[in-house]
Structure formats: C-alpha cells, structure tokens
C-alpha cells in the first residue's frame, strides 16, 4: 500500500512545517519552481527558515515573495544575484538575511550525498578561494580537495509534471533540475504536480523519482 498522501490543497500538503525548518526548494530560476507550494508556505506562516535552492528568488514571485514576507533567516544557494534578484539583494545589503554561497555542482552533490547517506566527501571546486576558507583541505594524488558535508532538509518542496497515486514522479524537460536529488534528502517531501494518474499508468522506465521518496502530493492547475 502506498505511503504517499494525495492532498486536497496546498495548505493541507504543508501542514506541520515548523519555524526554523530547513527547506529544500527545487527549481532553476522559475523552471521547476514549486510556486503554488511556496505561496501556501507564505500563508502557512512558518518563519526563521533556511532555504536551500539554486537561486535566491526572481522578481516578486516564488522564493522572492517568501523572502519579502520576512520568513527566511538564511539562504544556501549558487546564484543569489541576477538582474531580477532585487528582493534578496535589498535584504542582504540591509543585513536582514544570511547567505551561504555554494558552487552549483557542490550544491547538487551535497544534497545528493544527504539522500545517499554519505557522511562527507572531498571536492576540488573552490579550493584556494574564499568559498573553502576554514574547510579541511586534503591532497589526493597531487590535487587539493576540500571536505564538504551533506545538506539535509526537514522539508523538500518540488515541482513535477505527473504523479501516480503511489507517489512516482516524472518531470517535464528542464523543470527536472534539482527536484530528484532534493526529494531524496528531506524528512518530508512534498510535490506539486499538474496531474495525478492511477498507479500503473506511468511507464516505469520514465519514472525519475520513485514514490518511496514522496510523502505528499497536491495537484495544481
């Protein structure tokens, strides 16, 4: 029997998220961004959050709206600044939000490591720069590597294309991005999808995220 719960609303899907939670948010810019779940999180009211995502918000929607609502204490991301990241930029310059800058590959691998149960790993990216200042450096086969630790989430919010009732997910093109690794790395994984179909209707060869990783699903239009 499936453990995945099909929720009737985004509010139901986000019930129980506490202040101080670390939340993994899928998306590359707005591609694959779970905007319906983020809007529901704003309405839900949890604060003092740590957000892990590739970007720190675009324009006034999605993550930017969550930041503007004053709910986020810290952002862990790869690209905090682009032409439309003015919400984050304003908060950061005012000292109202903390930032941990992580190279994109390291970010994906640190999240993946959490899902795979890896305690830590060595990576050459960023060695010799401010990004690895204070980290353990080890020379392996003549090359320097920095010790990196996994990023675990209390909650993962992701956007997929179609789900079945067992929680299996398929994605639409580049909207896939960080969703699959984030789904494995959180205690609670919530997915918003365009459509929910009966179990067995998805081609097993096309399933990217198995339902064992997905706790709650909400269908959005």
pLDDT tens, position by position, 72-119: 999 999 999 888 889 999 999 999 999 999 999 999 999 999 999 999
Supply the CATH number for residue 68's domain. 3.40.1080.10
- Hey, what are 176's tokens? 């896939």
Range of the domain at 90: 5-219
pLDDT bin (cut points 50, 70, 90) of residue 2 is low
- Hey, what are 65's tokens? 């709206």
Across the beta sheet with 162-164, the strand order is: 169-170, 162-164, 195-197
Instruction: Compute the mean pLDDT over every residue in the chain, rounded to the nearest whole number.
Output: 96
C-alpha span between 109 and 111 (Å, rounded): 5
Q: Is the pTM of this model over 0.75?
A: yes
What is the count of structural domains for the chain? 1
């Amino acid at each position: 029997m499936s453990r995945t719960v099909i929720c009737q609303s985004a509010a139901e899907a986000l019930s129980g998220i506490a202040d101080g939670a670390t939340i993994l948010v899928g998306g590359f810019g707005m591609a694959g961004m779970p905007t319906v779940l983020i809007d529901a999180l704003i309405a839900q009211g949890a604060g003092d959050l740590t957000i892990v995502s590739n970007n720190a918000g675009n324009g006034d929607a999605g993550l930017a709206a969550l930041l503007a609502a004053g709910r986020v204490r810290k952002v862990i991301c790869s690209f905090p600044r682009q032409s439309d990241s003015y919400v984050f930029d304003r908060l950061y310059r005012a000292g109202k939000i903390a930032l941990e800058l992580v190279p994109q590959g390291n970010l994906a691998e640190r999240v993946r490591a959490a899902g795979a149960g890896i305690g830590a790993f060595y990576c050459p990216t960023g060695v010799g720069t401010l990004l690895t200042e204070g980290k353990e450096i080890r020379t392996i086969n003549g090359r320097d590597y920095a010790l990196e630790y996994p990023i675990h989430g209390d909650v993962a919010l992701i956007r997929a294309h179609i789900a079945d009732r067992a929680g299996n997910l398929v994605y639409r093109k580049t909207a896939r991005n960080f969703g699959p690794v984030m789904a494995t790395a959180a205690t609670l994984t919530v997915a918003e999808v365009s459509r929910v179909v009966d179990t067995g209707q998805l081609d097993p060869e096309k399933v990217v995220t198995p339902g064992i990783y997905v706790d709650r699903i909400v269908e959005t239009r």
